[in-house]
Structure 1
Amino acid sequence: MNTNPIIALDLSSKVEVIEFLEQFNEKLFVKVGMELYYQEGPAIIQTIKEMGHDIFLDLKLHDIPNTVKSAMKGLAKLGVNLVNVHAAGGSQMMQAAMEGLIEGTPVGQERPALIAVTQLTSTTEEQMQKEQNILTSLDASVINYAVLAKEAGLDGVVCSVLEAKGIEEACGKTFFKVTPGIRLAGGESHDQKRVATPDFAKSEGSTQIVVGRAITKAENPVEAYHTVQQLWGGNA
């Protein structure tokens, strides 16, 4: 899979997306999340694909197994590269998601990689314990979810950089550790709590990084992207 930094297109319209992407003259790996997908629908995926970019469709499915399986069968037809679910949905749900992806992927196309969200990078240990009533450490919760995802046959997880090494030890080096919350040194953390720089993420074993406002809100997004890319050192 493309290991270049994933740019989070936290934009609200097709017009904004096209204006942003037209600044670049290279193949990108971009993330389409709920805000953009729910505003523009599947058509935005086709638009981005026609511009030549890889896509992480970040919808974080979480429902009963049959519903998630059916949803994944539909998403598989879009031709994206990466999709996700919430690990909190459980092993059966994650297995059903993979079954749906396999069944829905058109003949001759590569199945999208499937990863599971462990704990959001906006969640602190205190919040997790108080609001989710998970009375263990944040690290233990994340690694438990990662092991469940691997046992369910998924390709990896979404986690913070701070948990990447522990997940690698528990699940192996080839298991994807997709890490959001990436900021440049001195940048604002916004609503993220567990953040890191691209070079620190690389040293900690992240396999893919997701970068949003540090690029999309930069005065020169192309320059900011290349700075992130250089610090990250990934190659397509």
Structure 2
Amino acid sequence: MSKLALAIDDKSSLNILKELAGLPLVVKIGPIVFLEEGFSLLKALKQSSFEVFLDLKFHDIPNTVLKAVEVCAKNNIDYLTVHTLGGKDMLNPLRDVKGSTNIIGVTILTSHDSSYLDFLGSKYGLEEMVLHLADVAYECGLDGVVCSGFEAFSIKNKFPNLKTVIPGVRLDKDKKDDQKRVTSLQEIVEVADIVVMGRSIFNSPNPKETIFSILNMLGGHHGNS
């Protein structure tokens, strides 16, 4: 059963959470909100029985990332992102300090398309590169990867035990915004362990009802009370 991660990218989006207590939600906190609110917010979310997804996408020298992951693990973060492009020397040691935290490796951001790989001078095509980075994540003992819906099927086929976290998910017929590799919820529900959605929810006429609808589609909630 897929989980819904509600993307909180600005402080105003926090207001809806008081109406959602008790729902089987993952709350994804990005760098802007985290820098403003800190670990106290994450602790409050845990006390409200939400799973916490801290999306900071660490990419630095190995020792710096190791220490940062250790701090997050001590604060009982459920999911934490790092960049797989940081390489094996950065990723390998994380399994020793992560505790119960799921380390999720970012492959290629869904705001990028194949022109980004041209910029990097990569020999790989886009899907080939994502699969290569998923292989790195698997070898290094990461718990999952962030990928677009386009690559998720191939990743699940090759690495069935890797969690797939899929952003760039939209409700049917809504706009892409700054994302380039976008899929609809209906297209990826079978292969997504975590579906990340924010704009489609907050831009809808009734965000709370939209969340109920999505949870019903994912099989994670029954009834609107």
With normalisation by structure 1, the TM-score equals 0.88
Question: Partners of 1:74 and 1:170 in 2: how far apart?
Answer: 32
CA deviation vs aligned residue, 1:86-135 (integer Å, no higher than 9, x gap)? 00000121112222323xxxxxxxx1111100000000012221x22213
Show the counterpart of 1:174.
Answer: 161
Aligned AA for 1:147?
A: D
Native 8 Å contact 1:4 1:208 kept in 2: yes
Question: Partners of 1:18 and 1:61 in 2: how far apart?
Answer: 23
Aligned AA for 1:5?
A: L
Displacement of 1:227? 2.1
Alpha carbons of 1:200 and 1:233: their partners in 2 closer, same or farther (altered >3 Å)?
Answer: farther
1:224 aligns with 2:210: yes
Displacement of 1:234? 4.7
Secondary structure of 2:56's match?
strand
1:187 aligns with 2:183: no
Question: Partners of 1:25 and 1:37 in 2: how far apart?
Answer: 20
Secondary structure of 1:101's match?
coil
Aligned AA for 1:169?
A: N
Question: Partners of 2:40 and 2:3 in 1: how far apart?
Answer: 24
CA deviation vs aligned residue, 1:155-187 (integer Å, no higher than 9, x gap)? 11000010011112222x221111001100011
Displacement of 1:19? 1.7
Question: Partners of 1:124 and 1:199 in 2: how far apart?
Answer: 22
Matches for 1:65-214 after TM superposition, within 5 Å: 65-102=62-99, 111-129=100-118, 131-171=119-159, 173-203=160-190, 205-214=191-200
Secondary structure of 2:179's match?
coil
With normalisation by structure 2, the TM-score equals 0.92
Native 8 Å contact 2:3 2:193 kept in 1: no
Aligned AA for 2:9?
A: D
Show the counterpart of 2:17.
Answer: 21
Question: Partners of 2:94 and 2:60 in 1: how far apart?
Answer: 10
RMSD: 1.8
1:59 aligns with 2:56: yes
Show the counterpart of 1:7.
Answer: 6
Structure 1, unmatched stretches of 5+, are 103-110
Native 8 Å contact 1:183 1:195 kept in 2: yes
Count the aligned residue pairs.
221
Question: Partners of 2:86 and 2:64 in 1: how far apart?
Answer: 12
Native 8 Å contact 1:198 1:232 kept in 2: no
Identity level (%): 32
Native 8 Å contact 1:71 1:100 kept in 2: no
Question: Partners of 2:50 and 2:26 in 1: how far apart?
Answer: 6
Native 8 Å contact 2:172 2:185 kept in 1: no
Aligned AA for 1:40?
A: E
Instruction: Name the stretch that deviates more: 213-222 or 159-168.
Output: 213-222
Question: Partners of 2:124 and 2:70 in 1: how far apart?
Answer: 35
Native 8 Å contact 2:152 2:164 kept in 1: yes
CA deviation vs aligned residue, 1:28-59 (integer Å, no higher than 9, x gap)? 21101111111111111112122221111111
